[in-house]
A and B are shown apart, each in its own frame.
Chain A
Amino acid sequence: MASYSTNEFKGGLKIMIDGDPCAIIENEFVKPGKGQAFNRVKIRNLKTGRVIERTYKSGESVEAADVMDVDLQYLYNDGEFWHFMDTDTFEQQAASAEAVGDAVKWLKEQDMCEVTLWNGTPLAVTPPNFVMLAVTDTDPGLRGDTSGSGGKPATLETGAVVRVPLFIDIGEILKIDTRTGEYVGRARE
């Protein structure tokens, strides 16, 4: 089984902790002048998203997690699983609701997503930073309002609800930042 020594620790390294795959966020070397050396790490559990802290005695080895990020195209949802495809090999992957998580509200067919695979199966899905989505419901647009103040909720084709300026109408395509869930602008077609 592959493992890493604490000297290999760095941000992004994937390791197993208590049976769960985790990614190192931060690694800090701590050592009193006279005394034991430690690696104090901040880690994200890739299954739950929770951030925890662990301290390893320097020199220890930790089991590596077989985790990799791949770019896959989102195809469709069959009611239970979300299906993705590698556009080079046409190999498909089915992600559970747990793996898709909050990304579900930004998933649009044909969009390329980053899928995290653990032992070959999807563990997490990251949508593109920006998505173009149509407005399916909102209050009628207020022509001429360009003040940018206020705003109103709009429902998008994926079901996500975002705050948009008052002049936006049903049917318009909007650019949304999925990291913040905020409206960026109208899509330029």
Chain B
Amino acid sequence: MQAETDWRPTASPDMLRLRASILARIRAFFARLDVLEVDTPVLSTAASTDPALSSFKTDYHGPGVAEGDIRYLHTSPEFPMKRLLAAGSGSIYQICKVFRDGESGAQHNPEFTLLEWYRTGFDHLDLMDEVEQLVTAVLLDVMPIDAVHHWCYQDLFIEIAGIDPFAATPAELRTLLQSGHKVTAVGLADDDRDAWLDLAMTHVIEPRLGNGLVFVRDYPASQAALARLRSGNPPVAARFEVYLNGIELANGFHELTDAVEQRQRFEKELERRRQAGVEAVTLDERLLSALTAGLPDCAGVALGLDRLLMLASGSKCVQDVIAFPFDTA
């Protein structure tokens, strides 16, 4: 691309107006429910330990810091928002830019806009209902929602892919995906069960979810992230994903409030980063202190606003809904 010609925005004026109107509707939705809008830092001393997430990193030099101090650009505002919750904020929401290194494609821009909100006293099921209400309110007169479906992760895999995600071994997943669905993967470790499940989810299940709003819940415990676990056989994570017309839109949890378990999960993830040769990051001790002080029982969800805009406008790629995508930023 040439700077002389690609200075123009990729999003049309209509798209910019649609974005502004969706933002206004979201703010009106939360104002009605008395959920407080908050604003937390983009630059943080700590980062997400999730091995699948890569944080942009920069240096600070200035008063009190002569040598340079690492700051991470947040991949989501989750940790500081939980510190607000622990400090007694009550239900809160935030609309902000988040940053994920290495994520670029038709549905990914390394810098994107997230709507994240937390509701005290809610569990993940209550929050799923609220996500449905919000998406319906925001898309009113913009795009009809054909249907709403609810699935448990295990049932969804069995029904659509003929795979029991809790019983199948990685070797069986490899065979089923290859023979049954013509999906051949290179580079996935034989013991990386979650990677094989992610492969099945993205290559086999997502394309068959169909139109409408689809909620998937009760994820394998190994994919709990920051969700609490529900006892059962096997135990499942109180986590849900939301798809609209087959595109992943949001991810939510009935939040883990146990500081000890949270620390163990962080350390396990740091260990997985070491094993995978992924750069270590600084663990968020302030979040752990907040959990120790007491995070109220709550559920939270993060929703990709650029994806929502893509769906609302029928765009094929996320770059069409962003004024200046990464390549020309």
B105, A60: Cβ atoms closer than 8 Å: no
Residues of B within 8 A of A142 (CB): none
B233 contacts the other chain (CB 8 A): no
The answer to whether A55 and B102 have CB atoms under 8 Å apart is no
Q: Which residues of B contact A58 (CB under 8 A)?
A: 102
A120 at the interface (CB under 8 A from B): no
> Is B248 within 8 A of A57, CB to CB?
no
The answer to whether A60 and B187 touch (CB under 8 A), given A28-B106, A30-B202, is: yes
| List of A residues within 8 angstroms of B108 by Cβ | 29, 31
Whether, in the assembled complex, A183 has its beta carbon less than 8 Å from a beta carbon of chain B, the answer is no
Chain A interface size range: 20 to 34
Judged by a CB distance under 8 angstroms, whether A140 is at the interface is no
B194 near A35: Cβ-Cβ < 8 Å: yes
Number of B residues, CB within 8 Å of A: 31
For A51-64 the 0/1 string (1 means CB < 8 A from B) is 01111111110100
Q: B186 contacts which of A28, A32, A37, A57 (Cβ < 8 Å)?
A: A57
Inter-chain CA distance A29–B183, complex, in Å, is 15
Q: Are A28 and B105 in contact (CB under 8 A)?
A: yes
Q: Does B251 contact A (CB under 8 A)?
A: yes
Q: How far is the CA of A38 from the CA of B192 in the complex (A)?
A: 14
Chain B CB within 8 A of A33 CB = yes
Interface pair A35/B185, CB less than 8 Å apart: no
Kindly identify, within residues 238 to 255 of chain B, every residue whose CB is under 8 Å from any CB belonging to chain A: 241, 248, 251
Shortest Cβ distance from residue A91 to the other chain B in the assembled complex, whole angstroms: 37
Most buried by A among B107, B182, B199: B199
Residues in B lying within 8 Å of A, measured CB to CB: 50, 52, 102-108, 182-188, 192, 194-195, 198-199, 201-203, 223, 225, 241, 248, 251, 302, 304
